[in-house]
Amino acid sequence: KDALTIAAVLAVIVGWAQLALPWDRWHPQTLLLLVFAADLIIGAGGYFVGGVDVNTYYLLPLYAMIFLFVGLTQPPSSSLANFFPAAVSAVYCLGGPGEPEALKAVAVGIPLWVIVGVVLAQVSLFRRRAERSIERLLEAARRLLAARDEVHGADILAELARDMLEADAVAVMMADGLESHRFTNVGQREWPTEIGGVEVDTQSDSGGIGEAVRRGETVFVSDLLASVSIPSEVRTATNARSGVFVPLPGEGGYFGVMVALWTTRRSRLEPFSGRAVELLSSQAGRALERIRAIARLAIEAQTDALTALSNRRQYREALEAIVPGDALVMIDLDHFKMVNDHHGHAAGDEVLQALGDCMRQVSRVGDCMARYGGEEFAMVLAAAGEEGALKMIERLRSLWESTARLATFSAGIAVHNGHESFDKTLENADTALYRAKHEGRNCTRVHDSGEQAEVGA
């Protein structure tokens, strides 16, 4: 009775003391200290009471509670770690090492409870992983919906995939379109900066990216050193030993592939993580496709369908943002109606497209090249001034004359002075164009420059 009283008092003291300890700041396996204390208290109490039959009936089941606790709160290895302390404690609880019946009971009971603890730990681990995966997928959906553009979305996807797969490097390879075979890395995490942009042509490359797209399923490569799944420069820079290629599905096919690499060789892709990342790729594929579609619509809303130059709406926005020193240029194809009448409207469209191509080739960063309407085009040349605008038209005319042109063009230039409205500057450029049309065509005129500058014929 004295021994049991001491054991009971110790149990109460330990129980109350553990309530005051800062478990949230310690490693979860620190809880094993309570487990070992319970082993010690039960074993010591049973040893002093004595009697195999009595302790087997009353005390031995307490070890099952200990292993249940370990299984529900600790990883599977912790039940194995508690095997020896629990076995020694149970032997003494049932009479000591010299008691054959004690050894028999422990030899049967403790291994059984270890198995129960390991199974419970595995189930708990699976449940916690499932909860974390669901949380991550919900977080992924939320963050992908908030992505600003395709690059931002791909970076978010790379970060989430690296976290889920515990990979060392991740890149998101995107195709130009559903029909394209060219894939480039749009987003990445822990991707070596010295690699830069990686381009893979799946039509000629039989690597992991092409295989994932062709098969429409995840492709895992255990030994990258013995395969050609990734370009050699990528394998060398990342020191990759294993990798996985997960296709990104869209409405009409696969337009992207997520590539995750590990620097240590893996024999297989962990099934739970594999399924989770496939669910992530399914969500991400649709989200990125939506982002791409919105971006395409935004471009189409600002672009002329025939020439791919800015449309009148976009030109108006550029016009409203001009500052003193910016030059406005109005261009009109000469006798364009004759092209349509003599060669047909298809030929006329080709002329318009050709002039648009030439304008893009001579443009600078910050310039706005637009189709103003019909056969009329316009430019906003940032900080070009009169001299810069004239040189720009010279380059354009020289390039245009090297093509199989069916028409010439006239141009009018006006430089914004800051004292007049942008509408007035536009009117001045239009007036200069009108002069060019009436003074021989195929020439350039500058508004109010003090002299007429003529370039061309």
Dump pLDDT digits (tens) for 342-361.
888 888 888 999 999 999 99
Residue 420 pLDDT class (50, 70, 90 cuts): confident
Amino acid 53: pLDDT: 66
pLDDT tier at 52 (50, 70, 90 boundaries)? low
Residue 45 confidence (pLDDT)? 76
Give the pLDDT of residue 319. 87
pLDDT of residue 279 exceeding 60, the answer is: yes
Rounded Cα distance between 209 and 212, Å, is 5
Model confidence pLDDT, tens digit, residues 113-143: 899 989 998 888 888 877 777 777 777 777 7
* Among 375, 394, 384, 392, residue whose Cα is nearest residue 457: 394
Which pLDDT value is given to residue 329? 93
- Ranking 103-117, 184-198, 326-340 by mean pLDDT, the lowest is 184-198
454 pLDDT above the threshold of 60: no
Instruction: Look at residue 390 and tell me whether its pLDDT is greater than 90.
Output: yes
Instruction: Tell me which of 71-75, 78-82, 176-180, 224-228 is least confident.
Output: 176-180
Q: Give the pLDDT score at 432.
A: 92
Asked if residue 99 has pLDDT above 70, the reply is yes
pLDDT at 51: 61
Q: Is the pLDDT of residue 285 over 70?
A: yes
Q: Output the six-digit token pair for 99.
A: 């008691």
* Rounded-to-integer distance, Cα 360 and Cα 367, Å: 10
- pLDDT at position 317 is 87
Q: Per-residue pLDDT for 191 more than 80?
A: yes
Contacts 24+ apart (CB under 8 A), 221-228: 221/245, 222/265, 222/266, 222/267, 222/268, 223/265, 224/261
pLDDT averaged over the chain? 84
Position with higher pLDDT, 116 vs 403: 116
Give me the percent of the chain exceeding a pLDDT of 70: 94
pLDDT at 414 over 90: yes
pLDDT of res. 451 = 43
Q: What is the pLDDT of residue 138?
A: 74
Q: Distances in Å between the alpha carbon of 227 and those of 207, 222, 242, 262, 376?
A: 8, 9, 10, 15, 56
What pLDDT is stored for residue 180 in this prediction? 74
Q: What's the sign of the alpha-carbon dihedral 292, 318, 437, 385?
A: negative
Q: Is residue 450 pLDDT above 60, yes or no? A: no
Name, in order, each residue with C-beta under 8 angstroms of 378's C-beta and a sequence gap of 6 or more: 315, 328, 329, 330, 331, 370, 371, 372, 429
Cβ proximity of 77 and 30 under 8 Å: no
β-pairing verdict for 219-221 and 242-249: antiparallel
Q: Does residue 298 carry a pLDDT above 60?
A: yes
The DSSP code sequence of 258-280 is EEEEESS--SS--HHHHHHHHHH
Amino acid (1-letter code) at residue 186: V
Q: What percent of the chain has pLDDT over 90?
A: 19
- Cα–Cα distance measured from residue 206 to residue 209, given in angstroms and rounded to the nearest whole number: 8
The angle formed by the CA atoms of residues 66, 69 and 75, to the nearest 5 degrees, is: 115
Which has more confidence, 139 or 339?
A: 339
Length of the chain: 457
Q: Which residues contact 242 (CB under 8 A, 6 or more apart)?
A: 220, 221, 222, 223, 224, 261, 262, 264, 265, 266
Question: How do strand 444-446 and strand 409-415 relate by DSSP bridges?
Answer: parallel
